[in-house]
Amino acid sequence: MSAALFIIYYLSSLIFDLFLIQATYLDTHWIFRMLFLVASSYAASMLFFLSLMTASLRKEAHGSYKRLNSIMAKSSIEKNSSSLKAIPIGLKFKMMSLIERMAQKEITVWCLDLFPLNSYEFYLFVAAVASNYFLLIGFIK
């Protein structure tokens, strides 16, 4: 999956730039221009939703980290309290193991083990596509 995402992520930036160049700068029939414009907007929306889903996956996967830490802290402080019963030792070890796993590597979809696909990486991707577009325009003219 990560290799497929790597190919899609980097190949789509080139295709997206070429479609935009085709739609805006080259002298073609207006039907072809509209076709390339629609194709580039479709590709951009698919990349946007893919990145949005992976960013929300990261948020949801790490969302319970604070809650688990607070449960562990409350259970160790309030051992004799009637509002919170003591957590069995086996369950505490499982929770501690889960907390350690969540604190280490980022839980999300990775792009060929290079970087996690989150909202910041998507921002960098959009900036790279825009700069490549202007570089290609300068190269063509």
Residues 121 and 136 in one domain: yes
Residue with tokens 């907007």: 41
Residues 73 and 141 in one domain: no
| Residuewise pLDDT in 10s, the chain (141 residues) | 778 778 877 787 788 888 888 887 778 788 888 888 888 888 788 877 877 777 777 777 766 767 777 777 777 665 555 545 667 777 777 777 777 766 666 667 777 777 777 778 778 877 887 888 888 888 877
Full-model pTM: 0.55
Residues 53 and 68 in one domain: no
Residues 15 and 51 in one domain: yes
What range defines the domain where residue 34 resides? 1-62+108-141
Residues 51 and 113 in one domain: yes
HSE-up of residue 131 (Cα within 13 Å, Cβ side): 6
Residues 115 and 57 in one domain: yes
Residues 49 and 16 in one domain: yes
Size of the chain in residues: 141
Q: Look at the chain and report how many structural domains it folds into.
A: 2
Is there a contact between 12 and 50 (Cβ–Cβ < 8 Å)?
no
